[in-house]
Structure 1
Amino acid sequence: MNPMPWLLSAALLSHPAAAELSVTPGTGGQLVIRGRLALPEQELDGRLVLAGDRIVCAGADCAEPADATVLQVNDGLILPGFIDAHNHVAYNALPKWAPPKRYQNRAQWQRAAAYKAFKRPYDQLKRSGLSCEMVKYGEAKALLSGVTTIQGSPAGRCLQGLVRNAENPQSGLPVSSAHVRTFILDVGGAPKIDWNATDAFLIHVAEGVDAAALAEFATLKSKGLLTAGTAIIHGTAFGDEEFRQMGAVGSKLIWSPQSNLALYGQTTRVDLALRHGVPVSLGVDWNPTGSDNLFDELRVADRVNREQFAGAIAEQDWLAMITRHPSQALALDSYIGALRAGLKADIVILSGARASVGQTLLNARLRDVAAVLVDGRLLYGDRDAMTAAGRADCDALTVDGAPKLLCMRTPGVPKGGQRLDEVRAALLKVYPGVAPLAAP
């Protein structure tokens, strides 16, 4: 993603874009967003000032450049772009999978005939040369819920210009391909990590509920990989002692409750993780057994928190679990994860703000995503707002009954001229059962 100026065209913005968004066009290259801000320390009525791909001021006292375009957000909430901390993005072209039974560990269902049969279309799509389309479709699905950065994409130059792919050089961030490393296979085969080059190592560990799953923690330690730079994905089999050791060294946890419940009938003891000071991030995992979107995953997490964890996750922590905590787990907090001067202009605007940020997130539906910016570029949002912003040439779709536009085309990269309908058509030609972008 190359830094680009704010794409609002002053000539086209002479009327309110929607009930919640109104625009006063300016002649300069900066943008001011006024409204209720979810800042790292507090919520307040204030301003964001954007210049190109960066936030240059965030707060109540930001000076507005005289020639800036002003976007006024009424009855809404302005938040940092969401980060899906773990998602097998290419698999999100697949529909839901109903496991025929509950499993004890990940190896069991991956070897099962039922899963192998379910996975055949994925293999067929890859053999048909559609890996780029599969991931781009998954990125578009994530963008609908305000996700601006996602972990779990394979490398590829075609993956540039939409959602940031955290571990890839195409993320649009000034980090090397070694900065974030991931490992999804058996922990016994985990590679050695050069911690001089790698700041974040994300690894599946203890995904399951039996002794075999738990034994992976000992293997991780024996390889010298339980460190402050390690983020453990799942940890479903962990108990108090494992989380104590994680907290002692500063390791992080990435939690995917819906997928855990579907496959194993129980999920990670996040209450124990929090007791030992382990930062927790949320990830949808994948479409087959995960939630349809990040908002639904938050609601699953909230239900588990109330029913099993006695409210150990505080209301104010929900935003941190999809912004600040994953940015730290990915060692990208110098660039993303908050509305703060100097960080990238990755922004989500939600309609219908509630009394608190936590309540707004837990009540949010896909139709409430009024606008999403990545690198200061408006990529998705309400159709009227997008049209007024000069983005009428983007792809029209109806999401949760609301008219939206999504800008998928990224000129200058392989397959970058594809529109959303072209990507979807290519996938459907090989596999008619491709999952919808949004659940009906």
Structure 2
Amino acid sequence: MLPAPVNGSETDAIKWGELRHIFSGTTSIVGNHMAPGLARNLDFVSGLEDGLESPADTYAVFPLDDAPGIVREGDCDYGPNPIDQKTVKGLHRYIGHVAEGIGAEAQNEFRCLSDIHYDTRPLPSGGGRSTDIIAPNASQRLISIFVAERNATVVWSPRSNVALYGKTLNVTYLLEARITVALGTDWLPSGSATMGREALCGLSATHNSYGLTLESKIIWEMMTINGAKVAGFDAMLGSIEVGKLADIVIFGGDNIKDPFGQAIYAAEEDIELVMRGGKVLVASHSLRHLTTGACESAAFGHVLKTICVEDELGNTYKDFEASLGGVYPAILPGVPPNEPSCDPTR
């Protein structure tokens, strides 16, 4: 078990986390909790914001009802209320956090969710039988030929994999199988504070473990359009196209040879604009004339930017920041303090 320090109340901690992502250029989140306004919360109808309509995604950290830490091998005797095939079929998108790890117990979780014939014996208290939820509307944190055959998708969180298990999978296998892969930060105790830090981890872990290089464009797609596809909102989000919502981030710099790399690995000081549904949340000095509503200045490293989040916070950012003890700062120039390791040990 890993401790999960919380800033202030749970509500304030959620706002703080969303601010951290917004300030680094993320406009949509699937996070199991939400704060009103700020980032889009694609797993809550009330969090879709500006132009998106329900249904929302369904995100489950413990699809097998194994929150107490139940691990099994050879059967599916987890909790009494696991997810089932019928329920998943009725959902817009089901994103299940399953089969994380490198051992037989992790493989067992996958078998219990992909093969109805694996365990047919129910438990007296409920549950116990395997099911098959691998489908186009299901996103899994796992790897199997079933994922490709069923057109399911995968969320890849390399820093958590390395920090917890010493290694992450060779994601190129998924890409070669034409599986849609989205990048995700997981959570702070083992994951990355921002998508940019997760991208750097994915790049370095793939090189260090497998001697392979991921092209910047591929990682960019994992962070943008693939994330929208996994969440089922790619008709409205994930790329700049006519008819889509104005969720736009502008990155500074002049890396003409690798513009995708410039965007992925840019320091927060180099983010010129963060816009959600046409509302400017962060603007550089040169673009501050685009802001509306209650705004204030904040230092991003050595650069002052205009941030417009007071309406969502119900308070100025400065006052909100002063009221919280910091696990991580919301504005993170450079490498975050006490960041979990991304150096493979296997």
2:134 alignment partner in structure 1: 226
- Corresponding position: 1:422 with 2:319: yes
1:330 alignment partner in structure 2: 231
- Corresponding position: 1:394 with 2:295: yes
* Shift in CA distance, 174/382, structure 1 to aligned 2, threshold 3 Å: closer
1:184 alignment partner in structure 2: 61
Deviation of the 1:307 alpha carbon: 2.9
* Shift in CA distance, 162/317, structure 1 to aligned 2, threshold 3 Å: same
Deviation of the 1:407 alpha carbon: 1.4
* Shift in CA distance, 152/220, structure 1 to aligned 2, threshold 3 Å: same
1:253 alignment partner in structure 2: 154
Q: Which amino acid aligns with 2:321?
A: R
In 2, Cα distance between equivalents of 1:323 and 1:427 = 31
Deviation of the 1:286 alpha carbon: 1.8
Secondary structure of residue in 2 paired with 1:379:
strand
Which of 139, 143, 155 lines up with 2:18 in the alignment? 139
Deviation of the 1:269 alpha carbon: 2.7
Whichever structure has more strand as a proportion of its residues is 1
* Shift in CA distance, 392/327, structure 1 to aligned 2, threshold 3 Å: closer
- Corresponding position: 1:356 with 2:253: no
- Corresponding position: 1:372 with 2:265: no
TM-score by length of 2: 0.79
- 1:324-344: per-residue Cα shift (whole Å, max 9, x none)? 111111001111011011110
In 2, Cα distance between equivalents of 1:207 and 1:382 = 40
In 2, Cα distance between equivalents of 1:231 and 1:313 = 22
Secondary structure of residue in 1 paired with 2:139:
strand
- Corresponding position: 1:163 with 2:36: no
Instruction: Report if the CA contact (8 A) 2:63-2:83 is conserved.
Output: no
Instruction: Report if the CA contact (8 A) 2:294-2:311 is conserved.
Output: no
Secondary structure of residue in 2 paired with 1:226:
coil
In 1, Cα distance between equivalents of 2:88 and 2:52 = 18
2:344 alignment partner in structure 1: none
- 5+ residue gaps, structure 2: 65-77, 115-129, 338-346
In 2, Cα distance between equivalents of 1:345 and 1:383 = 21
- Corresponding position: 1:381 with 2:283: yes
* Shift in CA distance, 246/196, structure 1 to aligned 2, threshold 3 Å: closer
Deviation of the 1:314 alpha carbon: 3.3
In 1, Cα distance between equivalents of 2:138 and 2:166 = 26
Deviation of the 1:371 alpha carbon: 0.5
Instruction: Report if the CA contact (8 A) 1:160-1:410 is conserved.
Output: no
Instruction: Report if the CA contact (8 A) 1:162-1:410 is conserved.
Output: no
Q: Which amino acid aligns with 2:138?
A: T
RCO greater where, 1 or 2, for CA within 8 Å and sep 6 or more? 1
Paired residues for 1:40-439 under 5 Å: 110=1, 115=2, 118-119=3-4, 121-122=5-6, 125=8, 130-155=9-34, 159-169=35-45, 170-172=47-49, 173-177=51-55, 179-185=56-62, 187=64, 188=78, 189-192=81-84, 194=87, 197-221=90-114, 222-233=130-141, 235=142, 238=143, 242=144, 244-311=145-212, 313-354=214-255, 355-386=257-288, 388-391=289-292, 393-410=294-311, 416-428=313-325, 433-437=326-330, 438=332, 439=336
Instruction: Report if the CA contact (8 A) 2:154-2:180 is conserved.
Output: yes
In 2, Cα distance between equivalents of 1:271 and 1:302 = 11
In 2, Cα distance between equivalents of 1:281 and 1:390 = 31
In 2, Cα distance between equivalents of 1:306 and 1:373 = 33
Query: Once the two structures are aligned, what percentage of the paired residues are identical?
Result: 24
- 5+ residue gaps, structure 1: 1-109
Q: Which amino acid aligns with 1:228?
A: P
In 2, Cα distance between equivalents of 1:395 and 1:289 = 32
In 2, Cα distance between equivalents of 1:343 and 1:399 = 29
Deviation of the 1:353 alpha carbon: 3.6
Deviation of the 1:385 alpha carbon: 2.6
